[in-house]
Amino acid sequence: MSDSGRAPAITLVLGSIVSVQVGNAVAKTLFDEAGPVGIVLLRVVFAAIVLVAIWRPAIRDLRGMPAREVVLFGVALAGMNASIYLALDRIPLGIAVTLEFVGPLGVAFVASRHRLDVLWAALAAIGIVLLSPVPGSDLDVLGCALALLAGAFWAAYIVLSARVGRSFAGGQGLAMAMVVAGALLLGPGIADGGADLLDPALLAIAFAVAMLSSAIPYSLELEALRRLPQGTFGVLMSLEPAVAAVIGYLILDQGLAAREVAAIAFVVVASAGALRTAPPPAEA
């Protein structure tokens, strides 16, 4: 690809990253009103409505193994979104996303067989250790654990996304899985948010969060993947923890200590290296 074609594609990836993290930051400002699980319920339900309207999935396609994979995919979506929002309620955005990024980083390590992977793993380990709560630190232990749990669900999401993508056309599998996720979050979300979930102003902002965190980035990433090699795309996506830290500072006024900035840098470098050398996924 020529430089003139690559530059717009890079802009699309960076736009996707910024969109997701702005969505996360805006969502965090709503937690006091309807709770993190209440807000994630609204985000997932709105995303499900939009995806179903776009892809119009057919229920008759849910037979045998595809149905099982869609349900598991929905569980991964619900767990990933709920865990990261619960983490954001306790720890800064940049730290939460850095710990969550262990998920795709782990998938890349498993898939790759390069000698340099040992270096990337060591750098990632250093970053995680630096982010680990230490005596005297005000970093919430449960928040860190929830961010790591979100990373585990993210890893499952990556694996299941590939399987569901091979079983359904376009985004039909994702749309059905998002409906499953919404159903799973319905009880906990209502318990957390209560009657505040019906507030018109809150609903409007939650819809914007759903678009920023789901519809817009998915669209930008799909377009970017048509123009960029997977390795380049992966390296750019590894900037997400750093972008999250900047967004957290600008929107939420969340400053980071030098130790935490260094930890994020280690994880970004490790992610870029591991994702750059990971093999391409199997063709659908």
Q: What is the pLDDT along the chain (284 residues), one digit of tens a residue?
A: 555 556 688 888 899 999 999 999 999 999 999 999 999 999 999 999 998 998 888 777 666 667 888 999 999 999 999 999 999 999 999 999 999 988 888 887 777 777 777 888 888 889 988 888 766 677 899 999 999 999 999 999 988 888 887 778 778 888 899 999 999 999 999 999 999 999 999 999 999 999 999 888 887 887 787 777 767 777 788 889 999 999 999 999 999 989 899 999 999 998 888 777 666 554 44
Position 19 scores a pLDDT of: 95
The residues near 34 (Cβ < 8 Å, ≥ 6 apart) are 42, 192, 193, 194, 196, 197, 199, 202
The amino acid sitting at 254 is Q
Position 188 scores a pLDDT of: 97
Position 105 scores a pLDDT of: 84
The CA-to-CA distance between both ends of the chain, in Å, stands at 23
Position 235 scores a pLDDT of: 79
Where do the structural domains in the chain lie, given as residue ranges?
A: 20-277
CA distances from 89 to 92, 100, 258 (A): 8, 14, 22
pTM above the 0.85 mark? yes
The amino acid sitting at 36 is P
Position 205 scores a pLDDT of: 96
Position 61 scores a pLDDT of: 64
Q: What angle do CA 21, 223, 45 make, to 5 degrees?
A: 50
Tokens read off for 108: 């890349």
Position 190 scores a pLDDT of: 97
Query: 115-118: which pairs have CB atoms within 8 A and are 24 or more residues apart?
Result: 116/273, 116/277, 117/274, 117/277
Position 96 scores a pLDDT of: 95
Position 189 scores a pLDDT of: 98
Position 284 scores a pLDDT of: 41
Position 135 scores a pLDDT of: 63
